[in-house]
Structure 1
Amino acid sequence: MTPQSPSLPHAPLSEAQAFLDAYPEVQAIDIVLSDLHGVGRGKIIRRHELQSLFTSGRGMPASLFAQDVSGHDVEGAIATMQDGGGDSICWPIPNTLGFQTATGRGMVLLQLEDAQGTPCPLDPRTALMQQINRATALGLTPMGALELEFYLVDKERDADGRPQPARAPMTGRRLSGTNCMSVDELDEMAPFFDAVYDGAAALDLPMESLISEYAVGQFELTLRYRTLAQAADDIVRSKRLLRTTARRFGMEACFMSKPFSQSAGSGMHLHLSLNDPSGVNVFGDTETGETAQTMLHAIGGIRKTMADSMLALAPVLNSWRRFAGTVYSPATNTWGTEDRNVALRIPNGSAKSRHFEHRVAGVDTNPYLVAAIVLGAALDGIENATDPGPQGADTPSNHPAMPEGWLDAIDRFEASDAMKSLLGAPLHQIFCAVKRGEYTALAVEVTELEWQLYGTTL
């Protein structure tokens, strides 16, 4: 269910003034609106323009949400719009203005509204805030964190023109071997990650643990658990921080779900819980140590629409390659306790801080869309007391079968009343149109592999 769209809070002018006072040398600020894909669109403004951004907003076209991932207009998506192509107004998101140590510029995230001050229904962050407002009306505060898995690759390609692992800044050694959870490899990478953590501190971005993940050049950063809106904003800011810092070290940060066919995919697991008005976690275990019914009902709601939601969790063709190897990448509709082979995992830990981990989304997804759909489905489950069904990775399910691939996911998402309800009809419609346009563009493209297989063979 999608509630009405009340005005969203704007960042106060005092934030801009505090930034200008703290950084008198900064002459430019990146203003960033996340599109459907989570790609940053916007402008670099000059120092003297910052205050007017906070007092009057800044015009940008809502047609940014009708673009494919490369920034081209998708004809079918543009056709769904009825605003005449005029500008809407972007406003700074509270607590996202900060200094970028890598670039020497400021950065602030934006949200889009129409001329009447109504949140733009095409903006994925609007969809998340609607579901958060819905939770608030139920006396609940969504809390969460998203994990960030990614690869670091060299700016230079190998002799065959293929991407290759980055070199460690400390030793110059090209990364090799899986080295899962290797502390020595993290030490070799320390100059880069020290710069990342310095950048996070300047942005007031709560980065925490760093892990060498399950493939050559793959890493994971965790972020502090806090309100769900902040958690989604954290991912947008973290990706930009990693990208800008990596470039200064001769590397690129890669957020494809499956950049290398024989290596592990990169996920963006969402951890979620709900607090009551006194700050108590309603997912906390009962006094007898049993899983809270509220938690079970939330899981039931998510499972009910899991198949329909897959396009938001795996939005591009490459996303589906991550599911080809299913170790720790569950494209299933399953749940369980302390089991990394299921889609919805309840981790061990403090009974009072109990939460679930949604493990399906890839790192290539829009964090606002993922959070909106997972939270909204969880609230549906709580409101309807939905049974989660039996747990276990191999347990048969009476839920609809999961999509078999990207086109199937597009079809299922487009036909889903549940997804339309959770995101709102305008966002649902334009997201489907963009993804169908991307599918068509790739379907007609003749690839190098096709030439190798068929060009002089058939």
Structure 2
Amino acid sequence: MTAPNADEANTFLEQHPEITSIDLLISDLNGVLRGKRVSRENLEKAYTQGINLPASVFALDILGNTVEETGLGLDSGDADRVCRPLPGTLMPTPWRRQGRQAQLLMAMEEADGSGFFAEPRHVLERQLKRLEARRLTPVVAVEMEFYLVDRERAEGGMIQPPRSPVTGERASQSQLYSVNELDEYADFLEAVQAAAEAQQLPLDTMLKECAPGQFEITLKHGPDVLAACDAAVLLKRLIKGVAQHHGFEATFMAKPYGLEAGNGTHVHISLLDDSGDNVFAAADGDVLGSTTLKHAVAGLLEQMPASVALFAPNLNSFRRFQPGLYVPMTPTWGFDNRSVAIRIPSGPNAARRLEHRVAGADANPYLLLAALLAGIEHGIAGELTPPPAVTGNAYDQFAPSLTNSWRQALDLLEESESLREALGQDFLTVFLANRRVERSQAMQEVSQLEIDWYLRHV
């Protein structure tokens, strides 16, 4: 990695004399942003010298505890690595301290200046290089769903939908695509839009999703996959921060309510060749796309069972895989069909793309895209052929086959030779150890439901 030019820092500070501190952020295995806060006087030093963070930042579980089984903790001396700024990510955070704070994404280096092997962003860079070797450039767009939650808890401490800022009534209906609901939450949504503009995040659309208090925000498509994932990670922070400022909480949990729809992350992908032509577009105008698109779909379908651990990274992730709630549970594909795992949206042939619909909103965007690009490269390299495209309701035609077991998902990932080659054995060792220890800790907890069901009756 090349040290970024400190002129970016100095120009930013000149343009923003109100900024007093800057958060230096790095995304861990869970996609949680961690780092340090520095004063404006120390920002130039962060550019010229970097900052030190322990490699064990990528050994942290969701509670922020170091998972020693990863080998990145005390066994290695809990040593530091240098982290350097990612150019173009220094932006104000208008919802923080009356606009007096800013943020900057960092990336961790190995001793030789290359990307740190356990950093999810570096794992994604690895996949981009594999496609670059085939002279292919992915174009992606990310859609993320989230819930607004009332800060006042319901009886028993459970979360509940918010009260409308306009009517004062608590949300209780689905109201998919409701413009009235967008109007009722307009102050919040407009603040998200304004903050995104301030941070140069490429927001595209906002819509009311299919559960009380649930919304979806789409980022514009573009050929810089790393920037797209940077934007997705930063957008999560932005939405949570703006929600707090407006008296709500925002959550990207995969399944915050047991009987309502889960939060998903849908990813649209096409591939461009050296001439800028979309290789997924069929020369004969076939709506199902080119032979290359079919190879890509086949690779994604073949690797899907082993990729579930990256699409569903924690205990709550697997609550989302329930029938009837638009969550694919079988490796399937089809044209303009929202019941399948990989949808080929309608539209002009030149804009042909695939939409991957399996992952939860809790997935790490870098690892999600790394898995998807690895699957696409796998299919193209092997010239794989997908099964017939599905027409009609895939849920009625195919029994669920993707695992809903966290333990089995991790085992399938570990056993996948193609994903081990793509993602790197060293990274997988860290990821699997981290997830298995968190799972072990989760299994030690007894839920209230278990007490209610079994205490007196077994």
Residue 401 of structure 1: how far off its partner (Å): 5.0
Q: Equivalents in 2 of 1:259, 1:117: separation in Å?
A: 41
Cα offsets for 1:82-129 (capped at 9, x unmatched): 642111011112221111110021111111112321210000100101
Q: Equivalents in 1 of 2:168, 2:275: separation in Å?
A: 52
Partner-residue secondary structure (3-state), 1:111: strand
Cα offsets for 1:264-285 (capped at 9, x unmatched): 0110011111111222211123
Matching residue of 2:32: 39
Matching residue of 1:61: 54
Asked if 1:250 is matched to 2:247, the reply is: yes
Bigger mean CA offset, 284-293 vs 327-336:
284-293
Cα offsets for 1:361-390 (capped at 9, x unmatched): 000000000101100110121122111121
Matching residue of 1:386: 384
Q: Equivalents in 1 of 2:294, 2:14: separation in Å?
A: 49
Aligned-residue identity in percent: 40
Alignment of 1:438-449 (within 5 A): 438-449=438-449
User: Is the alpha carbon distance of 1:11 and 1:286 closer, same or farther for their aligned partners in structure 2, counting shifts above 3 Å?
Assistant: farther
Whether the 8 Å CA contact 1:169–1:190 is kept in 2: the answer is no
Letter in 2 for 1:361: A
Letter in 2 for 1:300: A
Q: Equivalents in 2 of 1:142, 1:127: separation in Å?
A: 16
Output the aligned Cα RMSD: 1.9
Q: Equivalents in 1 of 2:73, 2:17: separation in Å?
A: 44
Asked if 1:420 is matched to 2:420, the reply is: yes
Matching residue of 2:95: 102
Bigger mean CA offset, 401-410 vs 430-439:
401-410
Q: Equivalents in 2 of 1:440, 1:457: separation in Å?
A: 26
Q: Equivalents in 1 of 2:164, 2:55: separation in Å?
A: 41
Asked if 1:238 is matched to 2:210, the reply is: no
Q: Equivalents in 1 of 2:395, 2:147: separation in Å?
A: 31
Matching residue of 1:84: 77
Letter in 2 for 1:184: N
User: Is the alpha carbon distance of 1:180 and 1:394 closer, same or farther for their aligned partners in structure 2, counting shifts above 3 Å?
Assistant: closer
Matching residue of 1:311: 309
Residue 222 of structure 1: how far off its partner (Å): 0.7
User: Is the alpha carbon distance of 1:329 and 1:396 closer, same or farther for their aligned partners in structure 2, counting shifts above 3 Å?
Assistant: closer
Partner-residue secondary structure (3-state), 1:36: coil
Alignment of 1:164-203 (within 5 A): 164-203=160-199
Partner-residue secondary structure (3-state), 1:269: strand
Bigger mean CA offset, 267-276 vs 444-453:
444-453
Cα offsets for 1:229-279 (capped at 9, x unmatched): 111111101000001111111111111111000100110011111111222
Letter in 2 for 1:414: E
Residue 19 of structure 1: how far off its partner (Å): 1.4
Residue 81 of structure 1: how far off its partner (Å): 8.1
Matching residue of 2:41: 48
User: Is the alpha carbon distance of 1:410 and 1:318 closer, same or farther for their aligned partners in structure 2, counting shifts above 3 Å?
Assistant: same
Cα offsets for 1:271-325 (capped at 9, x unmatched): 1111112222111231443521111111111111111111000111111111123
Matching residue of 2:344: 346
User: Is the alpha carbon distance of 1:137 and 1:81 closer, same or farther for their aligned partners in structure 2, counting shifts above 3 Å?
Assistant: farther
Alignment of 1:444-455 (within 5 A): 444-455=444-455
* Structure 1: gaps spanning 5 or more residues: 1-6
Letter in 2 for 1:89: V
Matching residue of 1:3: none
Residue 169 of structure 1: how far off its partner (Å): 2.8
Letter in 2 for 1:40: L
* Structure 2: gaps spanning 5 or more residues: none
Residue 402 of structure 1: how far off its partner (Å): 2.8
Residue 345 of structure 1: how far off its partner (Å): 0.6
Matching residue of 1:4: none
Whether the 8 Å CA contact 1:200–1:206 is kept in 2: the answer is yes
Cα offsets for 1:4-51 (capped at 9, x unmatched): xxx4x6543232222112211101111111100101111111111111
Letter in 1 for 2:136: L
Q: Which of 182, 196, 206 is residue 210 of structure 1 equivalent to?
A: 206
Matching residue of 1:157: 153
Matching residue of 1:16: 9
User: Is the alpha carbon distance of 1:293 and 1:44 closer, same or farther for their aligned partners in structure 2, counting shifts above 3 Å?
Assistant: same
Letter in 1 for 2:112: Q
Asked if 1:219 is matched to 2:215, the reply is: yes
Matching residue of 2:322: 324
Partner-residue secondary structure (3-state), 1:303: helix
Bigger mean CA offset, 164-173 vs 432-441:
164-173
Cα offsets for 1:66-91 (capped at 9, x unmatched): 11111111232247886421110111
Asked if 1:26 is matched to 2:23, the reply is: no
Partner-residue secondary structure (3-state), 2:103: strand
User: Is the alpha carbon distance of 1:193 and 1:396 closer, same or farther for their aligned partners in structure 2, counting shifts above 3 Å?
Assistant: closer
Letter in 1 for 2:281: G
User: Is the alpha carbon distance of 1:168 and 1:44 closer, same or farther for their aligned partners in structure 2, counting shifts above 3 Å?
Assistant: farther
Partner-residue secondary structure (3-state), 1:38: coil
Letter in 2 for 1:121: F
Residues paired across the two proteins, number: 449
Whether the 8 Å CA contact 1:140–1:275 is kept in 2: the answer is yes
User: Is the alpha carbon distance of 1:82 and 1:387 closer, same or farther for their aligned partners in structure 2, counting shifts above 3 Å?
Assistant: farther
Q: Equivalents in 2 of 1:326, 1:67: separation in Å?
A: 35
Q: Equivalents in 2 of 1:353, 1:242: separation in Å?
A: 30
Q: Equivalents in 2 of 1:263, 1:387: separation in Å?
A: 36
Q: Which of 131, 142, 146 is residue 142 of structure 2 equivalent to?
A: 146
Q: Equivalents in 1 of 2:396, 2:422: separation in Å?
A: 28
